[in-house]
Structure 1
């Protein structure tokens, strides 16, 4: 049985958004889901410029957890951008 997911702290509330390539209807696109914690980790490390250690402290998780979250988030983002997929922000209480 896996360990329960640790509660994470989020500074910002995000609206439910879907980014897609211009001029292509959403119905015909593959969709990549970017979860709330992935978006927050990207924001803290890549936009705000915090280190993984600082981002982990702010979110209430370890640096290793932030590193794993960032790896997945960057992969999903790169896939969506390079293949022309829709990027949807999903999660609890965005």
Structure 2
């Protein structure tokens, strides 16, 4: 029996989850599925400038797991760009980060999909 997958901590969901050629027809053969945890590794490493070790600490997983997820994500993005396929971000084994400031160093928690305000801001209103 295989070991259950560990949940990966993700700070924010993407503002848009569908990317690709403007004239593309969305069907299963022309679709590349990027999981939310793969999106998070790209966001942390390429956009925020985290090392793989820092990314692993942020997502609460092993560095070798980050390396595998990152490589898979880059291949999917390349397939989408080179072959003109639509890229959809959805699914995966993740949980949204609940800490708002102390444990999270990427500041993504404050930019959740829900209007850009943090959960504490929403509770005060």
What number of residue pairs does the alignment pair up? 94
Gaps of 5+ in 2: 97-125
Structure 1 runs of 4+ aligned residues shifted over 2 Å read 13-16, 23-29
TM-score between the two structures when normalised by the length of structure 1: 0.89
SS at match of 2:89: strand
Deviations 1:35-86 (A, max 9, x none): 0100000100011000000000000001100000001000010011000000
Q: 2 CA distance for matches of 1:25 and 1:8?
A: 32
- 2:82 corresponding residue in structure 1: 82
Q: Structure 1 or 2: larger helix share?
A: 1
Which protein, 1 or 2, shows the higher relative CO under an 8 Å CA cutoff with sep ≥ 6?
A: 1
TM-score between the two structures when normalised by the length of structure 2: 0.68
Gaps of 5+ in 1: none
Contact 1:29 1:86 in 2 (8 A): no
SS at match of 2:50: coil
Deviation at 1:18, TM superposition (A): 1.3
Contact 2:21 2:86 in 1 (8 A): yes
Q: 1 CA distance for matches of 2:28 and 2:11?
A: 34
Q: 2 CA distance for matches of 1:83 and 1:54?
A: 32
